[in-house]
Amino acid sequence: MKSLNAIVMSGKEVLPVIEGGKGIAVSSGQSSGAWAAAGGVATFSGVNADSYDENGERIPQIYYGRTRRERHDELVAYGISGGIAQAQIAHELAGGQGAIHMNVLWEMGGAERILHGVLEGAKGLINGITCGAGMPYRVAQIASDYKVHYYPIISSARAFRALWKRAYHKFSDWLGGVVYEDPWLAGGHNGLSNSEDPRSPEDPYPRVAALRKLMNEIGLQNTPIIMAGGVWHIEDWADWLDNPEIGPIAFQFGTRPLLTQESPISDAWKKKLGTLKKGDVFLNRFSPTGFWSSAVNNEFIEELRQRSERQVAFSNEPVGAHTAAFSMGARKREVFLTQEDRANAEKWVAAGFDQVMKTPDTTLIFVTKEKMQEIRKDQVDCMGCLSQCTFSNWAENETGNTGRKADPRSFCIQKTLQDVIHSEANVENNLMFAGHGAYRFATDPFYANGFIPTVKQLVDRIMTGK
């Protein structure tokens, strides 16, 4: 394999290996500081990051506000203090080596306020901002204002063209690189467009070559592309190195850093990663963001899948094939289903799924009383962790809502991601984001006999091409 040469990113000479920024404390100052110390580009998560008291104990993110707006302001305050704390930890552990980036989701609640707050409070500690999950037009100006580099996460040349024309051409001096994230293979939220088939993955090479062609046309020949999603062994990408069609290239690792000694995830989660088989990571659209996302296909995902399968279309009046009357709720309100759907509904009710919940799409789902109560409570407790949420109908606008009914087919993403990272609870019952290559933990000889490397050992291994 061709040698991997150092690359200049965010004003520093670094190894061309980037730690992917994983949300809600999964990429922490501890893990990212170790990655930077090893000479790479570290990325801590700026999404609801943990902060600590004077004794170094984590401050639980508890919300006291009576309204969603009040709780949203609390969430922003937590996000700012947590981001500053993680930047400080990463900076101290890095010891002047590597580069430190903060990852934010543009569609997270209070994204701009949190960016300003963290960059102001951690001046000189953060070298770059990576940002995806949406179209982050304004991140360029924010990064430029604080003199840090920015790295948009995109999944097509078309998306980058739109960002460039709308805003980035004005702040090109601070564009540190462009992250191409494979929407079929990356973990977490993915950038699949409505024109792309989630069941038909496309080869990333022509897509990245198209991105480089565009970048060359607008004068970005020397700006690196960071390949993300599906990256495990760099030797798998040998034909991308020193390739004029691809140009300056670096590689981002999101899934592999989960299984290191410095990784903050639970031992149960780490053990689960070692048991995955090919196909165990499931591309789905259950997320309240409305985006596609990839997660481990565990009991949490299975319950969401079954919830949507227990679903029928209804009409308030008999129309077309919807002529079968069905009574729902304590008041026995009558709606009309097809004959087949009424038979299914009666079967679900008899099996204990006797609570009926309406969706925004003129359908009904059938759940147990306990699940209905959980859904209702989570919707009421919403703290506005997203810019807009299909599950609770919160939106970060003047009205405070999306204008649509809350969708019981989704879930509170803040709640489950906080649970899965901060407790040793059964990982089967929480959302576990992972890339589609996670099954390779079980087959890669590097992890034989349950070996869990330090971050330094992992970076050294990656630099060999494996």
Tokens for 306, please give them: 């079954």
Pick the CATH number of 7-274+438-463 from 3.60.20.40, 3.40.50.10860, 3.90.740.10, 3.20.20.70: 3.20.20.70
Question: How much is the mean pLDDT over the chain?
Answer: 94
Confidence of residue 426 (pLDDT cuts 50, 70, 90): confident
Per residue in 218-251, pLDDT (tens digit) is 999 999 999 999 999 999 999 999 999 999 999 9
* Amino acid of residue 355: Q
Sequence-ordered alpha helix ranges (H) in 295-382: 299-309, 339-350, 369-380
Phi, psi values for residue 460, rounded to 5°: -60, -40
Residues 371-401 pLDDT 10s? 999 999 999 999 999 999 999 999 999 898 9
What's the first-to-final CA gap in the chain, in angstroms?
Answer: 10
Give 134's pLDDT tier (boundaries 50, 70, 90): confident
How far lies 293's CA from each of 106, 162, 318, in Å?
Answer: 15, 23, 37
pLDDT at 144 over 70: yes
Which residue has tokens 């893990």? 31
**Pair 182, 204: CB distance under 8 Å:** yes
Q: Where residue 1 falls among pLDDT bands split at 50, 70, 90?
A: low
DSSP 400-435: SS-SS---TTS--HHHHHHHHHH--S-GGGS--B--
Q: What is the pTM of this model?
A: 0.93
pLDDT at 183: 93
Average pLDDT over residues 403-432: 91
How much is the average pLDDT of 161-188?
95
Q: What number is the average pLDDT over the span 308-321?
A: 95
Dihedral sign, Cα of residue 49, residue 394, residue 400, residue 159 = positive
Q: 157-166 and 204-217 are packed helices; what angle lies between their axes, rounded to 10 degrees?
A: 30
What pLDDT was estimated at residue 33? 97
What is the mean predicted confidence (pLDDT) over 139-154? 96
Q: What is the pLDDT of residue 132?
A: 85
Q: Break the chain into its structural domains and give their ranges.
A: 7-274+438-463, 299-429
CA distance 228 to 191: 12
pLDDT at 382: 96
- Return the pLDDT at 379: 97
How much is the pLDDT for 328? 86
CB 151, CB 179: distance < 8 Å: yes
| C-alpha distances in Å from residue 315, one per residue of 312, 318, 323, 329, 342 | 10, 7, 9, 16, 12
pLDDT at residue 320, rounded to an integer: 92
